[in-house]
Amino acid sequence: MDRNVVIVGSYCKGLFTKGSRLPRVGETVIHDRFFEGPGGKGSNQAVAAAKLGTQTQLLACVGDDAWGREAIEMYHIIKPNETEAALITGQNVSDVESAFRAGDWFLKRGVGLALITLGARGSVLVGKEHKLHFPAPSVMASDTTGAGDVFSGAFLAECAAGTALEEAIRFASHAAALSTTRLGVIDAIPDRASVLAHMKQDVLCKE
């Protein structure tokens, strides 16, 4: 049975610059590109879930300014990235094995499943009957901004559609990887057909 996704989170306006290098302390550097677009972790995840085919609602506060007007099972699964997992657990989370240990920490405190993303190292799933590593698909990344949010939105979309857990994680991994091949966040979110095509191509390359 299909289910709707409701996300409670932030909506922000993203301001992006791109240049050849970062400034040194006290230095002013003129970058060659500037652009703006909608963003915020809740918004990014909601757009990703909706763009990938799920009926989605976002509950968020917006400011009374130009940008704000423009926008106009609790803890059954927890999905932190490695930095968030480290902050919550107090443990170093820097690779697959340490992510497994962090996942065990969550389970001991009553969480049903811990899905921890590790950037280019992929993600791990830890549960009473799960301890799995999902490698990240290989892509030529140019901008990783918002990739974690795309992963979350894609994962929620697949879960809401009734997709099996492990397959939903694989789908989310490909969606997030594809999003890093384009600049920005919202404009970089792939549609469902692109994700499925990338998954198929990945299988063919491994055969």
Active site amino acids = 149
Backbone φ/ψ region at 75: left (φ over 0), alpha (ψ -120 to 50), beta: left
| Spatial distance between the Cα atoms of 43 and 48, rounded to a whole number of angstroms | 8
Residues 6+ apart with CB under 8 A from 27: none
- Of 131, 134, 149, 177, the C-alpha closest to 84 is 149
| Spatial distance between the Cα atoms of 159 and 113, rounded to a whole number of angstroms | 13
Q: Which two tokens stand for residue 19?
A: 């240049």
- Of 96, 130, 118, the C-alpha closest to 176 is 118
Number of H helices, E strands in the chain: 7, 8
Residue 51 Cα to chain centre, angstroms: 14
Q: In this structure, are residues 167 and 134 in contact, taking their beta carbons and an 8 Å threshold? A: no
Q: Which two tokens stand for residue 27?
A: 């230095």
Measured in residues, the chain has a length of 207
